[in-house]
Chains A and B, each alone.
Chain A
Amino acid sequence: EVQLVESGGGLVQPGGSLRLSCAASGFTFSSYDMHWVRQATGKGLEWVSAIGTAGDTYYPGSVKGRFTISRENAKNSLYLQMNSLRAGDTAVYYCAKEGFGRAFDIWGQGTMVTVSS
Chain B
Amino acid sequence: SYELTQPPSVSVSPGQTASITCSGDKLGDKYACWYQQKPGQSPVLVIYQDSKRPSGIPERFSGSNSGNTATLTISGTQAMDEADYYCQAWDSTSVVFGGGTKLTVL
Contacts and interface: CB of A to CB of B under 8 A. Distances in A.
Contacts, number: 60
Determine the main DSSP class of B at the interface with A.
strand
B45 A103 contact: yes
Interface stretch (B19-27, B66-74, B87-95): B87-95
Contacts of B94: 47, 58, 60
B96 interface: yes
Nearest to A6: B42
Interface in A54-106: 58, 60-61, 94, 99-105
Interface of B: 1, 31, 33, 35, 37, 42-45, 48-49, 52, 54, 86, 88, 90, 93-100
Interface of A: 35, 37, 44-47, 50, 58, 60-61, 94, 99-105, 107-110
